[in-house]
Structure 1
Amino acid sequence: MMLAAVAVGVSHLVYSTQAGANYGLSLFWVILVISLLKYPAFRLAVDYTNVTGTSLVTAYAKISKIALAWLVVGFFVDMFIATSAVALVAAGLFISVFDLSYSNIQIAIALVVVSAIILLNGQYQKSERIVKILVLAFSLLTIVAMIFSLPLLGSDDRALFAELTPSRSLSIFVIAIAGWMPMPTNGALLFSKWVCEKRAIEGDRFDSATALSDFRIGYTLTVVLAMCFIVMGTGVLFDTGRIAPSRPPEFAAELFTIFTTTIGQWSYPVIATAGIAVMWSTLIALMDVMPRLTDRLAGIITGRPREAPSRYKQFSIVQVIGVSVILLFFMKSFTVFLYFATSVGLIAAPAIGYYNYIAVTSDEVSSTYTPKRGIILWNWLGVIVMTAFAIAFLYTRIFGL
Structure 2
Amino acid sequence: MTQSVKFNVFLKTLGPGILFASTAIGVSHLVQSTRAGAEYGFALVGFILAANLFKWPFFEFGSRYAAATGRSLIDGYQMISPWYSRLYLLINLLSMFFVNAAVTFVAAGFLQNLFNIELAPTLYYIPSLILLMFSFAFLALGRYSLLDTGIKIIGSFMLISTLLAFFIALFKGPQKPIVYEPLSAMIGLESLPFIIALMGWMPSAIDSSTWNSLWTMERSRQSGYLPTVKESVFEFNMGFWTSALLSLCFVVLGAYLLYGTGNSLPDNNVGFASGVVNLYAAQLGSWTFLIIAAAGFTIMLGTCIGVMDGYARSTARVIAVMQGKAEKPAAYLWWLVLITLGGFLVLSLFMQAFNQLVSLATTISFLIAPVIALLNYRLVFSEHLSKADQPGPAMRLLSLAGIGFLGLFSLVMLYYLWWG
TM-score by length of 1: 0.94
Q: Does 2:354 match 1:342? A: no
Corresponding position of 2:270: 249
Using the TM superposition, give the Cα deviation of residue 374 of structure 1 relative to its aligned residue in structure 2, in angstroms: 0.8
Using the TM superposition, give the Cα deviation of residue 80 of structure 1 relative to its aligned residue in structure 2, in angstroms: 1.2
Q: Does 2:255 match 1:234? A: yes
**Deviations, residues 191-221 of structure 1 (Å, cap 9, x unaligned):** 1110122223334453443322221110011
Question: 2:143, 2:225 → 1: CA distance?
Answer: 26
Corresponding position of 2:91: 74
Corresponding position of 2:329: 309
Using the TM superposition, give the Cα deviation of residue 237 of structure 1 relative to its aligned residue in structure 2, in angstroms: 0.7
Question: 2:161, 2:225 → 1: CA distance?
Answer: 37
Kept in 1: contact 2:201–2:362 (CA 8 A): yes
Corresponding position of 1:94: 111
Corresponding position of 1:323: 343
**Deviations, residues 251-305 of structure 1 (Å, cap 9, x unaligned):** 000001110111211222222222211110111112222212111111123332x
Corresponding position of 1:62: 79
Matched AA of 1:113 = M
Q: Does 2:418 match 1:398? A: yes
Q: Which runs of 5+ in 1 are unaligned?
A: none
Question: 1:318, 1:397 → 2: CA distance?
Answer: 30
Corresponding position of 1:30: 47
Question: 1:375, 1:261 → 2: CA distance?
Answer: 41
Counterpart of 1:259 (choices 257, 280, 289) is 280
Kept in 2: contact 1:96–1:252 (CA 8 A): yes
Q: Secondary structure at the match of 1:153?
A: coil
Q: Which runs of 5+ in 2 are unaligned?
A: 1-17
Question: 1:20, 1:113 → 2: CA distance?
Answer: 33
Report the count of equivalent residues: 399
Kept in 1: contact 2:63–2:212 (CA 8 A): yes
Question: 2:403, 2:69 → 1: CA distance?
Answer: 24
Question: 2:103, 2:397 → 1: CA distance?
Answer: 33
Corresponding position of 1:298: 319
Corresponding position of 1:195: 216
Corresponding position of 1:270: 291
Question: 2:154, 2:185 → 1: CA distance?
Answer: 37
Q: Secondary structure at the match of 1:83?
A: helix
> Cα 1:107–1:335, aligned 2, differ >3 Å: closer, same or farther?
same
Cα RMSD after superposing both structures: 2.0
Using the TM superposition, give the Cα deviation of residue 164 of structure 1 relative to its aligned residue in structure 2, in angstroms: 4.0
Residue identity over aligned pairs, in percent, reads 28
Question: 2:124, 2:230 → 1: CA distance?
Answer: 42
Counterpart of 2:31 (choices 5, 11, 14) is 14
**Deviations, residues 58-113 of structure 1 (Å, cap 9, x unaligned):** 11122334422331232124431101100000000001111123444221121101
Corresponding position of 1:119: 139
Using the TM superposition, give the Cα deviation of residue 30 of structure 1 relative to its aligned residue in structure 2, in angstroms: 1.6
Counterpart of 2:239 (choices 210, 218, 227) is 218
> Cα 1:180–1:125, aligned 2, differ >3 Å: closer, same or farther?
same
Using the TM superposition, give the Cα deviation of residue 350 of structure 1 relative to its aligned residue in structure 2, in angstroms: 1.5
Using the TM superposition, give the Cα deviation of residue 161 of structure 1 relative to its aligned residue in structure 2, in angstroms: 6.2
